Structure 1
Amino acid sequence: MNLFRIAGDLSHLISIFILLHKMRISKSCIGISFKSQVLYLIVYVTRYLDLLWTFQHSVYNSLMKIIFIGSSAYTIYLMLNDFKPTHDPNIDTFKVEYLIGGSAILALLFPYKWTTAEVLWSFSIWLESVAILPQLFMLQRTGAGETITTHYIFALGAYRALYIPNWLYRYFMENYTDPIATVAGIIQTILYSDFFYIYYTTVSKGRKFELPV
C-alpha cells in the first residue's frame, strides 16, 4: 500500500459519494448514463469474485470491494426505480455490446493464467478502461453537463489516473509489474484527457462545463 494507491481509492470513493449525493439532492438521474453504471457493476462483480475466499486476508481490500459492488448496485436500483422517469434512453444510446465484446476478446487472448477467475479479472480490467465511454458520449451529445455531474466524472477519472504512479512506485520499489492493468489504465486516462482539459478550463474556473457538439 502506498500514497498513490490510497489517493486513488479515496478519489473513487469521493466519485461515488458525489454521484449518489447528486441523485438524492436533485431527485433525478438526469445526465447520468445508465449504461455506464451497468458496465461498472459488471466490472466489480467479475473482478471481485475473490471476496468469497480472501476477506480474512485483507479487511481494507474486502471492504472496498463490498462498497464498490454495493454502491454500484444501489445506483442502478435508484435509476430503475425512484428516478427512472428522469432518465432519457434516447440520449444514452452508446453501443455497449462492442465494449463488452472487445473486452471479452482481449481477456481470452491475454490472461495471465487460463483459469476462470483470471480471465474474468482480465475482462474486468479491460472493460473498466472503456466503461466511461457511454457517459462521455452523453456529455458529447448534450454539449453540457451539470457541475456536480462533471465533478463525479473528474473524481472517477482521477482515481484511475492516480493508479499509474502507483504502478510506477510498485515497479521501482517492489519490482512488481502488471502489464494488463497498466496498459488498460493508460487507455482509460487517455479517454479522459479531453474531459480533464475542458474541466480545468471551465468548471475549475467557475464557468459552465461545455463540450463541442
Structure 2
Amino acid sequence: MNLFRILGDLSHLVSIFILLQKMRSTRSCAGISLRTQILYLMVYCTRYLDIFWTFNASLYNSSMKLVFILSTAYTIYLMRTVYKTALDPQIDTFATYYLVGGAGLLAVLFPYKYTVYEVLWSFSIWLESVAILPQLFMLQRTGEAETITTHYLFALGAYRALYIPNWLYRWFLEGHFDPIATVAGIIQTLLYSDFFYIYYTKVLKGKKFELPV
C-alpha cells in the first residue's frame, strides 16, 4: 500500500467526519444533497460485495469498506429522520436516474469480465465519478454554501484526486494499470475543478463561498 492511497482514504474519512459534525453542530442537513448520499451508498454496496469473503485477507481494506457503507447509510438515516425538516426537494432535484442508467450502460459495455461481481464493480466506478453532481447542482442553484459544507466537499474531492497519483504509482512501480478506474477518477476530479478554484480563491482566504446563480 502506498502513501497516496492512505492519504486518499484518510481524506475520505475526514469528509465523512466533517459531514456528520456539520449536521450535529447545526442540527440540520441543509445544503447537503440526499440524492448524492444515496448514490454513494449504491456505489459502496455494489463495489464492496467481496467484503463477505475477503474480510480476513486485509483488516485495513475490510474496515474501510465497512466504515464507508455504514457511515453513508447512517448519514441517509439522519437526513431522512432526525433532520428531515431541513430537506428541500425543490432544490435537490437532479435527475439521478440518468447517472445510474449511464453508469449501468458503461458497466455492461466495458467490464473486465462478464461476471456479476465485475459488472457491479465497473458500475460502482462509473457511478462514483458522477455521484457528486446532485450536490454540485444544489450549490449552483443556491449560489452559496456554509463553510463547513465546503470543507466536506473539498475533503471528498481531494480523496478522489489523491487516487490519481496512487494509480500512477501502481502503474510505474507495480506494472498495474486500471483504465476504468483511471478514466473515471479523472472525470470526477474535473467535475470538482470549478469548486476547487472557488474554494481556494474564497474559502481559504476567509471569504464566503458564493457562486453566480
Give the C-alpha shift of residue 135 in structure 1: 0.2
- Aligned-residue CA RMSD (Å): 0.3
Q: TM-score, normalised by structure 2?
A: 1.00
Match of residue 22 from structure 1: 22
Kindly report which structure 2 residues correspond to 1:71-86, keeping only aligned pairs within 5 A, or say none: 71-86=71-86
Match of residue 125 from structure 2: 125
The CA distance in 1 between the partners of 2:119 and 2:212, in whole Å, is: 38
The answer for unaligned runs of 5 or more in structure 1 is none
The CA distance in 2 between the partners of 1:140 and 1:181, in whole Å, is: 27
Give the C-alpha shift of residue 62 in structure 1: 0.1
Q: Give CA-to-partner distance per residue, 1:90-129, whole Å, 9 cap, x none.
A: 0000000000000000000000000000000000000000
Name the amino acid aligned to 1:133. L
Aligned length: 213
Q: Give CA-to-partner distance per residue, 1:7-42, whole Å, 9 cap, x none.
A: 000000000000000001101000000000000000
Name the amino acid aligned to 2:6. I
Match of residue 55 from structure 2: 55
Name the amino acid aligned to 1:170. R
> Is 1:149 the equivalent of 2:149?
yes
The answer for unaligned runs of 5 or more in structure 2 is none
Match of residue 191 from structure 2: 191
Match of residue 45 from structure 1: 45
The CA distance in 2 between the partners of 1:159 and 1:45, in whole Å, is: 19
Q: TM-score, normalised by structure 1?
A: 1.00
Name the amino acid aligned to 1:173. L
Name the amino acid aligned to 1:105. L
Give the C-alpha shift of residue 212 in structure 1: 1.4
Match of residue 174 from structure 2: 174
Match of residue 103 from structure 2: 103
The CA distance in 1 between the partners of 2:44 and 2:153, in whole Å, is: 18
The CA distance in 2 between the partners of 1:68 and 1:29, in whole Å, is: 19
Q: Give CA-to-partner distance per residue, 1:131-159, whole Å, 9 cap, x none.
A: 00000000000000000000000000000
The CA distance in 2 between the partners of 1:137 and 1:3, in whole Å, is: 32
Give the C-alpha shift of residue 210 in structure 1: 0.6
Moved over 4 A (4+): none
